[in-house]
Amino acid sequence: MRASHQFPGGKGDVRDDMVQMVAREAKAANVDLDIQVYPGASLFKAEQQWNALVNGQLDITLFPLDYASGQVRAFSATLMPGLVRSYDRAKRLNESQFMKDIHATIEKAGAIVLSDAWFGGGMVSKRGCILEPNDVKGLKFRAAGPTFAQMWQSAGASIVSIPSNEIYNAFQTGVAEGTDTSMGSFLSFRLYEQAKCLTAPGTNALWFMYEPLLMSKKSFDKLDKKQQDVLIQAGKKAQKYYEDKAESVDEATIKAYKDHGVEVKTLTDAQYNQWIEIAKKSSYAEFAKDVPDGKKLIDEALSVK
């Protein structure tokens, strides 16, 4: 079987670790499961993985589900401003109706979830800290995806589109002055050399992205019960591994930014609520317009305590 992901292989990236862990567990169980891991988008480009997965050409993958939002519009809910808020709440969200609906959508499209994983992120800026909507006015902003772009745009930012391998360059020369992404990417993009301030997740994060460990339903159905159980158990183990490690990944990023003299801030409740008001008018409204049960999904997520 083939597993693929877009993250660097063998260098301690937690997402690579998760996939490798499942491959190891499957082999150790001695049920004739051999998983070959292709890291670093060496087999499929990141955005190709979804189609390959549902067609059964790829058996296992871990990727930002939002990448498939062009195929399954509801997946936009997994990269939506303010829906998750914190790692603790992410765990409660995993048990909610919202995630039951997302899992059902994934399964209907032809994949099953082995591990749930929410990755926190934030914003960096070359100008100052991004705390309130006013802070992005006129800022040249590179957004991680359409839903966030709608919110930044609504708050007065100028949206620029730049390929991810040119972000550092764009920051250095000033083609872009602000961007949002996961804490892991903030570290690998080395933006601490260019940024003035990082807005980290804390207890009021706007930015969370769902990157599940998925398996092709076609491949899964070909396995016998014993093999299926092994994979499900391995997935649970990988999820637990990630949950224990998530915050230390973020701390490594925060440390790197602080070491380079970058200010690191988190949002207060009041600031968070200001953003939610903007998101309601922009990202949430657009989503509800695009997706038949979009409003229901957002309400379900927001209602989680």
- 143 or 246: whose CB is closer to another protein? 143
Q: Shortest gap between Cβ of 156 and another protein (angstroms)?
A: 11
Long-range contacts formed by 219-223: CB under 8 A, 24+ apart = 219/1, 219/56, 219/59, 219/60, 220/112, 223/33
Enumerate residues 6+ apart whose C-beta is below 8 A from 64. 46, 78, 79, 209, 210, 211
Q: Shortest gap between Cβ of 214 and another protein (angstroms)?
A: 16
Q: Shortest gap between Cβ of 168 and another protein (angstroms)?
A: 7
Binding region for another protein (CB under 8 A): 2, 36, 38, 42-45, 47-48, 51-52, 55-57, 66-71, 73, 138, 140, 143, 145-146, 149, 153, 158-163, 165-166, 168-170, 172-175, 190, 193
**H helices of 65-155, where?**
87-94, 97-109, 146-154
- 47 or 101: whose CB is closer to another protein? 47
- 191 or 267: whose CB is closer to another protein? 191
Determine contact, residues 79/145, Cβ cutoff 8 Å. yes
- 14 or 160: whose CB is closer to another protein? 160
Q: Is 170 helix (H, G, I), strand (E, B) or coil?
A: helix
CA distances to 21, 134, 204 from 176, in Å: 37, 17, 25
Structure tokens at 43: 């087999």
- 95 or 290: whose CB is closer to another protein? 290
Q: Shortest gap between Cβ of 270 and another protein (angstroms)?
A: 28
Structure tokens at 5: 């992901």
- What per-residue string of b and e applies to 130-160 under the rule 16 or more CB within 10 Å gives b? bbbbebbeebbbbbbbbbbbbbbbbbebebb
Q: Shortest gap between Cβ of 204 and another protein (angstroms)?
A: 25
- 148 or 272: whose CB is closer to another protein? 148
